[in-house]
């Protein structure tokens, strides 16, 4: 059995897979600074899986930088490279590292693997990933990376299992964090997130795209650390409408909440146009993530704005949260695919281990 670990700074999500089949899961919240080892033990007990029954563990790591571009076995060198990416993802990679270390402390001989949210976008062309900065600054790793790659890889896998993959696919991962990806023949060619998960769409608590000089102004007024909190934790839907949860905004009925919803839809459409331009056209729109899977109103707003591209939704099917949403006259396929990141991590790591043993 395989343990799949998604470790944050103060929470721990575990799933256990027997091959492709999920057999157990656990969640531990409000972990203290030094509590991940105990949380890992508690989570495994909650899942009812003793350590001796595990074949291996695989971890979600948010940032792999420019060098970690595929699922790999965890070695001291890989740990060093993940640690080197902490400045690129200070909110995520430290927790990911602690998850790996916690498993190593509890089961030192258990093989461990890492999958990277940035890896799927390694196929983006250099012109799409390069910021127009001086060479010395680019050499520091300042470039676009993109995220949610494990989710997008799972989406492509699921669609391939169903039949021929649409050639030019606009993939919409909409949750508390949001990004779009332009996927051509299963390969990412552009995405909305950049150097960090802050860029792109309006999100639950993140601003999305914002002028660098506005960031500098916030830093001048509040200091760098406080500016980071504002941009990452106090903005987005929360900053505009008073709540980071779409359901709360729909229920609030205030002008501020309605504006936040409209803002989210508007900027999703603005960025969708950019993704379609990167692909040179559009054959399918696919939604995933908590909002993408469960918010018919938001899907309708986004799809209605894509009508000029031949997108014609079946509004009744959309209202019923069905998985196929295009009308018979639509020139573009419209689908909903449930997020399946943990199974994607398990399958990639299992495949890698099988290759090692061959």
pLDDT in tens, the chain (358 residues): 999 999 876 788 999 999 999 999 999 887 776 677 788 888 888 989 888 899 999 999 999 999 999 999 999 999 999 999 888 887 788 889 989 998 999 999 999 999 999 999 999 999 999 999 999 999 999 999 999 999 999 999 999 999 999 999 999 999 999 999 999 999 999 999 999 999 999 999 999 999 999 999 999 999 999 999 999 999 999 999 999 999 999 999 999 999 999 999 999 999 999 999 999 999 999 999 999 999 999 999 999 999 999 999 999 999 999 999 999 999 999 999 999 999 999 999 999 999 887 6
The residues carrying an active-site annotation are: 117
What pLDDT sits at residue 285? 98
pTM attached to this predicted model: 0.95
Which residues make Cβ contacts (< 8 Å) with residue 116, sequence separation at least 6?
61, 62, 63, 64, 68, 69, 70, 71, 149, 150
Determine the pLDDT at residue 231: 95
Where helices occur in the chain by DSSP H, the ranges are: 36-47, 76-84, 93-106, 126-129, 135-138, 149-162, 212-222, 224-233, 236-241, 246-252, 255-279, 289-294, 296-304, 315-319, 341-357
């Amino acid at each position: 059995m395989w343990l799949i670990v998604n470790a944050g700074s103060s929470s721990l999500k575990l799933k256990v897979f027997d091959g492709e089949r999920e057999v157990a899961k656990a969640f531990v919240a409000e972990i203290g600074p030094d509590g991940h080892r105990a949380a890992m033990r508690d989570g495994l007990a909650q899942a009812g899986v003793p350590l001796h029954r595990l074949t291996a563990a695989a971890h979600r790591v948010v940032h792999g930088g420019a060098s970690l571009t595929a699922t790999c076995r965890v070695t001291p060198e890989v740990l060093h490279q993940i640690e080197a990416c902490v400045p690129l993802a200070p909110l995520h990679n430290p927790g990911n590292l602690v998850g790996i270390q916690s498993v190593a402390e509890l089961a030192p001989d258990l093989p461990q693997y890492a999958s990277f949210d940035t890896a799927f976008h390694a196929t983006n062309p250099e012109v799409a990933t390069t910021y127009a900065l001086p060479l010395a600054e680019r050499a520091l790793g300042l470039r676009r990376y993109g995220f949610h790659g494990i989710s997008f890889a799972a989406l492509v896998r699921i669609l391939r299992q169903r039949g021929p993959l649409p050639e030019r696919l606009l993939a919409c991962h909409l949750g508390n964090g949001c990004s779009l990806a332009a996927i051509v023949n299963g390969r990412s060619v552009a995405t909305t997130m950049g150097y960090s998960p802050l860029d792109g769409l309006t999100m639950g608590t993140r601003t999305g795209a914002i002028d660098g000089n506005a960031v500098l102004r916030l830093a001048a007024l509040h200091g760098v650390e406080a500016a980071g909190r504002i941009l990452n934790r106090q903005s987005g839907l929360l900053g505009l409408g008073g709540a980071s949860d779409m359901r709360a905004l729909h229920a609030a009925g205030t002008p501020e909440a309605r504006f936040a919803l409209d803002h989210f839809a508007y900027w999703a459409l603005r960025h969708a146009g950019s993704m379609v331009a990167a692909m040179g056209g559009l054959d399918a729109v696919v939604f995933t993530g908590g909002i993408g899977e469960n918010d018919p109103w938001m899907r309708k707003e986004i799809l209605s704005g894509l009508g000029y591209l031949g997108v014609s939704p079946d509004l009744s099917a959309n209202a019923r949260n069905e998985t196929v949403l295009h009308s018979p006259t639509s020139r573009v396929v419209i689908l909903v695919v449930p997020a399946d990141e943990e199974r994607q991590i398990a399958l990639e790591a299992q495949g890698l281990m099988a290759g090692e043993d061959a």
